[in-house]
């Protein structure tokens, strides 16, 4: 169980470059202990002394900026959490609604699967970019002018704002979410042979090698998630292992899709998409694009987590919704 001092120090050292963390951890703890001891000698209760000392030191993110001697970012620590919550709301609620509406309009106007996919992708990228630009611009103006800051921010920092977490790279909920995906893929790969349709969805000929190979890769993904959880850190080793595993799964799948060896020909012949010609081709393209985008996102996301952790930039706190 972490103490209030542990939470403060860990929050601070998360925001400094990796090579400085050991020295700053030691220096900061010594400074806090000295200040707390002085208050206790003056007659204060220990808990009150710790709380007062940390409040006097202030927001650990700002303290980390001083240790790291780096300039302020586009948005300061007061406005950044509000900006982040706003962007999450826009991207998870507003953006999907707008894209669905525009895609529906395109489907009614011209029910061509290619144009529908193009409309959804184009709308997603364009609207997401505009949301990011204009929202960030508005918050930048508020940051520089101070207008509305008191209404948007929570006021003076106190130790009560420190997140409750253990120094791990991910929380139990995130670990469970990562493990669920390969488990579902294992179940889907096995069950599609017998239950999803009259004919197996995937080419049965690949049971000679490729489907067992993918089952092994999915198991390795579960082992990887458990390893990262126990390792308690995002670093370049994690990035390298994740990249190897992702490509080891995606490249064979991509090759099978491109060579028309992924889906069962009998299953493809049974598909009926109305006026759409060659539904197997569209199904293959959709899956291929999904594999490429999903693999790229996974590799990039893990790499960014490791780089942010190494450089001491803000990153999600395991077990909480806070980004510190």
Provide the 8-state DSSP code for 270. T
pLDDT above 90: percentage of residues in the chain: 14
Do you know the residue count of the chain?
324
On the CB side of 36, how many CA atoms lie within 13 Å of its CA? 17
Give pLDDT, residue 109: 64
Compute the distance between CA of residue 205 and CA of residue 249 in angstroms, rounded to an integer. Answer: 18
**In whole angstroms, how far apart are CA 242 and each of 73, 144, 169, 238, 253?**
30, 40, 14, 6, 17
The rounded Cα 296 to chain-centroid distance in angstroms is 13
Q: What is the pTM of this model?
A: 0.54
Give pLDDT, residue 221: 93
Domain ranges of the chain: 4-68, 80-161, 172-311
Q: Which two tokens stand for residue 261?
A: 């060896």
Report pLDDT digits (tens) over 84-99. 777 887 888 888 888 8
pLDDT confidence bin for 43, thresholds 50/70/90: confident
Report pLDDT digits (tens) over 209-253. 999 999 999 999 999 988 888 876 778 888 999 999 999 999 999
Identify the residue with better confidence: 111 or 85.
85
């Amino acid at each position: 169980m972490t103490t209030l001092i542990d939470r403060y120090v860990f929050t601070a050292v998360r925001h400094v470059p990796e090579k400085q963390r050991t020295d700053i951890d030691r220096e900061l703890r010594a400074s806090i202990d000295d200040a707390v001891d002085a208050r206790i000698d003056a007659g204060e209760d220990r808990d009150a002394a710790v709380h007062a000392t940390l409040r006097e030191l202030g927001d650990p993110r700002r303290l980390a900026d001083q240790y790291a001697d780096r300039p302020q970012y586009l948005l300061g620590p007061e406005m950044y959490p509000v900006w982040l919550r706003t962007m999450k709301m826009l991207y998870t609620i507003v953006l999907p609604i707008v894209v669905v509406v525009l895609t529906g309009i395109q489907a009614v106007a011209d029910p061509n699967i290619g144009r529908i996919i193009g409309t959804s992708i184009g709308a997603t990228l364009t609207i997401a970019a505009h949301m990011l630009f204009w929202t960030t611009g508005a918050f930048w103006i508020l940051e520089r002018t101070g207008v509305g800051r008191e209404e948007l921010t929570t006021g003076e920092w106190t130790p009560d704002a420190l997140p409750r977490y253990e120094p791990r790279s991910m929380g139990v909920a995130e670990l469970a979410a990562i493990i669920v995906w390969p488990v579902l893929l294992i179940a889907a790969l096995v069950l599609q042979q017998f239950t999803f349709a009259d004919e197996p969805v995937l080419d049965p000929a690949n049971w000679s090698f490729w489907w067992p190979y993918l089952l092994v890769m999915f198991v390795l993904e579960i082992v990887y998630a458990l390893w990262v959880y126990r390792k308690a850190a995002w670093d370049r080793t994690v990035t390298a292992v994740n990249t190897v595993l992702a490509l080891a799964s995606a490249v064979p799948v991509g090759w099978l899709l491109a060579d028309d060896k992924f889906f069962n020909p009998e299953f493809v012949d049974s598909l009926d998409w109305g006026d759409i010609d060659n539904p197997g081709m569209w199904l293959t393209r959709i899956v291929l694009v999904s594999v490429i985008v999903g693999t790229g996102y996974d590799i990039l996301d893990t790499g960014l987590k490791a780089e942010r952790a190494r450089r001491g930039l803000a990153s999600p706190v395991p077990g909480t919704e806070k980004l510190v």
